[in-house]
Amino acid sequence: MSRNLQPLSIIYNQKSGFHAAQQDDEYERLMTYWTQYGFEIQVFELNQQVNFDDMMRTVLARHQQTELRGVVVAAGGDGTLNAVAKQLIHTDIPMGIIPLGTFNYVARALNIPIDVAQAAEVIATGRIQAVHVASINDQIYLNNASLGLYPLFIKKRELYNQRLGRFPLNAYTSGLDVLLREHKSLKLAVTIDEQSYPVATPLVFFGNNQLQLSDMKLRIAECAANGKLAGVVVAKSDRFSLMKMLWKLVQGKIDQASDVYSFCAEHILVNCKKPKLTVAIDGELMVMDTPLKFSVKKSALKVMVPNVITPV
């Protein structure tokens, strides 16, 4: 690599269609644009045949062998961003974002344009901003982590997506479907900053993205913005109570629901008699060992953002 060029590595999800044949012209424009800003570009595709950890070791070595750290670009949905961010936390290599997901909460919270060409401009001409990253055991989450009904929403949403295509409406339709069919409780012990609470709950939700929490009209949005853990527990699991909760959510009044409790903390521990729990992390399902330990890695990830000061 030339000493005068900055490395730019693009990590993209094959499913996102970032380098699809029908988008060749747009893809070539991006490559030409970044080249004009002195980047030497290499593209890495995420698919089932690629070992992600091995690929990222190659990417990191590429950026660490030069004084110019360049940018590692994640092109995809929030699941792709999460995977790349996990490798970049606590390094001096910034992450660029080409948002190609359904809701793109990470990009939107950082004022990164959803338009691909404009997002590419931010990567080339923006500034570096350090952002908070929440963690659960050895996994990070940029948006949210949840237990109970929410992982079932994810499974059902993927079925809707496979049959009908990826549309935001599917997220809400799948949620309603699950609420009508499933209403079991998890018996947990939740310790919030050293204070323990026994709970029987169908849903526990932890948010790290103030924009997403604001969209849900939750007061704890400011908590996430300040680098603390923001959580929500639903206290009742009967179908009628869950339907009322969903209606409050649609109205933007979820904080007023009588059986919904939100909290803000530095550390959270979730224990359960079950040795493993299914957790939804940034839209991806994982089976994790209990207890679940939550914390925030403050200002741990560097991201390219527009040249406008925004609180995170």
Average pLDDT over residues 162-169: 47
- Please report which helix (H) or strand (E) contains residue 84, including its range: helix 78-88
Torsion of CA 172, 175, 181, 183, to 10 degrees: -150
- The span from the CA of 250 to the CA of 227, in Å, is 27
Q: According to the model, what pLDDT value does residue 220 have? A: 84
pLDDT > 70: percent of the chain: 75
For tokens 């961003």, what's the residue? 81
* Low-confidence winner among 44-48, 65-69, 172-176, 288-292 (lowest mean pLDDT): 172-176
Band (pLDDT 50/70/90 cuts) for residue 256 is: low
Q: According to the model, what pLDDT value does residue 253 have? A: 59
60-83 per-position pLDDT tens digit: 999 998 888 899 999 998 889 999
Q: According to the model, what pLDDT value does residue 102 have? A: 77
Count other Cβ atoms within 10 Å, centred on residue 296. 21
Q: According to the model, what pLDDT value does residue 241 have? A: 63
Task: Set out the domains of the chain in order of their start, with CATH numbers.
Answer: 6-125 (3.40.50.10330), 140-297 (2.60.200.40)
Burial of 246 from C-beta contacts in 10 A (0-12 / 13-18 / 19+): middle
Nearest to 183 by CA among 130, 243, 132, 229: 243
Average pLDDT over residues 205-209: 89
**Is omega for the bond preceding 198 within 30 degrees of 0, making it cis?**
no
Q: According to the model, what pLDDT value does residue 257 have? A: 66
- The span from the CA of 120 to the CA of 126, in Å, is 10
More confident residue, 139 or 283: 139
Q: Are 271 and 188 in contact (CB under 8 A)?
A: yes
The SS3 call for residue 260 is strand
Average pLDDT over residues 101-112: 88
More confident residue, 162 or 130: 130
Band (pLDDT 50/70/90 cuts) for residue 311 is: very low
Q: According to the model, what pLDDT value does residue 169 have? A: 43
Q: According to the model, what pLDDT value does residue 10 have? A: 95
CB burial of 51-60 (b: ≥16 within 10 Å; e: otherwise) equals: eeeebbeebb
Q: Are 292 and 137 in contact (CB under 8 A)?
A: yes
Band (pLDDT 50/70/90 cuts) for residue 240 is: low
Band (pLDDT 50/70/90 cuts) for residue 237 is: low
pLDDT at 165 over 70: no
* Low-confidence winner among 20-29, 94-103, 224-233, 244-253 (lowest mean pLDDT): 244-253
Q: Are 174 and 168 in contact (CB under 8 A)?
A: no
Q: Are 261 and 231 in contact (CB under 8 A)?
A: no
- The span from the CA of 66 to the CA of 61, in Å, is 9
